[in-house]
């Protein structure tokens, strides 16, 4: 998981979401009308006004732009679902709130489903699920780069890191192997880049790809780039390959 900056949607989209919100906010939690209201917003049927379809496209495009087609939780690519951080069945008033919309993969969306971020509360009395558009994930969890396993900063089941790992099933072995491989490749390419006087163009190309915003599992790369023990190596790489600076800066970014 990496911190993600929320982008701005068009004023017309904001206005349409506001209109839809006033229609949804009176519904009680778990009302059987909730799904219908959301399905209507997603519908491409000719009866649905063009303004609705334009707003939906803007929401989808802006989420793609923010998450580069990746799941906000597991960072797998090809995430297509619009995820409600506060589930729409429990919080119909937040169903059309832009700040509540994220991009998630089918697996995480399925695992998370109707989990309530506010129930249970975390040990500080706050929500117990991580929102990468607000939280700094590194405050709550890190990664074991030798196994790819998530390492929450507390084992308490209602801790924001631990509960997010559990709810999204982030200990799933398949993803962890991908994360481990990614971390190993990046570390090896960083070492390769400073080995010879002139870095091999293939190494440079591979590093550019591994650090690209659309590349999966950047959480482990970010951890490598923020590791104080590795900063002399990374400084050396950047001195030789200044074209990587903007990618490294983007990956080191976090919420203020
Ligand atoms: Zn996912």
Tens-place pLDDT, residues 60-89: 999 999 999 999 999 999 878 899 999 999
Which pLDDT does position 85 carry in this prediction?
96
Could you tell me which residue, 151 or 198, shows the higher pLDDT? 151
Rounded Cα gap, residues 244 and 238, in angstroms: 6
Q: What is the pLDDT of residue 79?
A: 75
Burial of 174 (0-12, 13-18, 19+ CB in 10 A): exposed
For residues 19 and 104, membership in a common domain is answered with yes
- Look at the chain and report how many structural domains it folds into: 2
Instruction: Give a yes or no: residue 122 inside a domain.
Output: no
DSSP the chain: ----PPPPPPHHHHHHHHHHHHHHTTSPTT-TTHHHHHHHHH---TTS-HHHHHHHHHHHHHHHHHHTTB-TTT--B---EEEESS-TTT-GGGTT-GGGEEEE-HHHHHHHTT--TTSS--TTSS-SS--TTTS-GGGTEEEETTTTEEEES---TTSHHHHHHHHTTTT-HHHHHHHHHHHHHHHHHHHHHHHSSS--HHHHHHHHHHHSTTSS-HHHHHHHHH-GGGHHHHHHHHHH-GGGHHHHHHHH----
Task: Say if 82 falls within a structural domain.
Answer: yes
Mean pLDDT, to the nearest integer, of 103-110?
Answer: 88
Q: What is the pLDDT of residue 25?
A: 87
> Can you give the pLDDT at residue 80?
82
Residue 248 lies in a domain: yes
Distance from the CA of 75 to the center of ligand 1, in angstroms?
Answer: 6
Task: Name the band, by pLDDT with cuts 50, 70 and 90, for residue 198.
Answer: confident
Question: Is the per-residue pLDDT at 33 higher than 80?
Answer: yes
Q: Round the average pLDDT of the chain to a whole number and report it.
A: 94
Domain boundary among 112, 144, 166: 112
How many angstroms is it from 236 CA to the middle of ligand 1? 34
Residue 183 lies in a domain: yes
Task: State the distance between the two ends of the chain, measured CA to CA, in whole angstroms.
Answer: 17
Question: Does any domain span residue 62?
Answer: yes
Residue 217, domain extent: 174-252
Ligand 1 midpoint to CA 223 (Å): 19
What was the pLDDT predicted at 196?
84
Between 213 and 112, the more confident residue is 213
The predicted-structure confidence for 221-250, as pLDDT tens digits, reads as follows: 999 999 999 999 999 999 999 999 999 999
> How many A from CA of 93 to the centre of ligand 1?
25
**Rounded CA gap, 129 and 127, in Å?**
6
Domain annotation covers residue 106: yes
Distance 163 CA to ligand 1 centre (A): 15
State what percent of residues in the chain have pLDDT above 90: 87
User: 178 and 106, same structural domain?
Assistant: no
- For 136-189, the pLDDT digits (tens) are 999 999 999 999 999 999 989 999 999 999 999 999 878 899 999 999 999 999
Please compute, for residue 14, the number of CA atoms within 13 A of its CA located in the half-sphere on the CB side: 6
Residues 196 and 105 in one domain: no
Q: Please give the pLDDT value at position 191.
A: 97
Does residue 125 lie in a domain region? no
Cα separation, 209 vs 215, whole angstroms: 7
Whether 106 and 198 share a structural domain: no
What pLDDT was estimated at residue 109? 83
The answer to whether position 152 is within a domain reads: no
Q: State in Å: Cα 107 to ligand 1 middle.
A: 6
Quote the ligand 1 centre to 63 CA distance (angstroms). Answer: 14
Centroid of ligand 1 to alpha carbon of 244 (angstroms): 27
- What separation in Å is there between the alpha carbon of 105 and the centre of ligand 1? 4
Spacing, Cα 108 to ligand 1 middle (Å): 4
């Amino acid at each position: 998981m990496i911190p993600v900056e929320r982008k701005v949607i068009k004023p017309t989209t904001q206005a349409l979401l506001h209109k839809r919100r006033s229609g949804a906010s009176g519904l009680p939690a778990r009302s059987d009308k909730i799904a219908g209201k959301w399905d209507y917003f997603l519908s491409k049927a000719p009866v649905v006004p063009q303004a609705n379809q334009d707003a939906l496209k803007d929401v989808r495009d802006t989420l793609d732009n923010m998450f580069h087609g990746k799941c906000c939780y597991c960072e797998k690519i090809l995430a297509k679902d619009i995820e409600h951080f506060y589930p729409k069945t429990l919080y119909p008033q937040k169903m059309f709130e832009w700040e509540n919309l994220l991009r998630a993969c089918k697996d995480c969306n399925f695992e998370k489903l109707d989990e309530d971020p506010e129930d249970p509360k975390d040990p500080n009395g706050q929500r117990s699920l991580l929102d990468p558009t607000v939280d700094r994930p590194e405050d709550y969890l890190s990664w074991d780069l030798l196994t790819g396993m998530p390492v929450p900063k507390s084992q308490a089941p209602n801790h924001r890191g631990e509960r997010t790992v559990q709810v999204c099933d982030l200990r799933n072995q398949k993803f962890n192997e991908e994360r481990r491989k990614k971390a190993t490749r990046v570390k090896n390419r960083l070492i390769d880049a400073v080995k010879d006087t002139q870095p091999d163009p293939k190494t440079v190309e591979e590093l550019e790809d591994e650090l690209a915003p659309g590349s999966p599992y950047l959480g482990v790369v970010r951890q490598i780039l923020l590791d104080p023990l590795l900063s002399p190596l990374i400084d050396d790489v950047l001195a030789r390959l200044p074209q990587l600076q903007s990618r490294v800066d983007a990956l080191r970014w976090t919420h203020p």
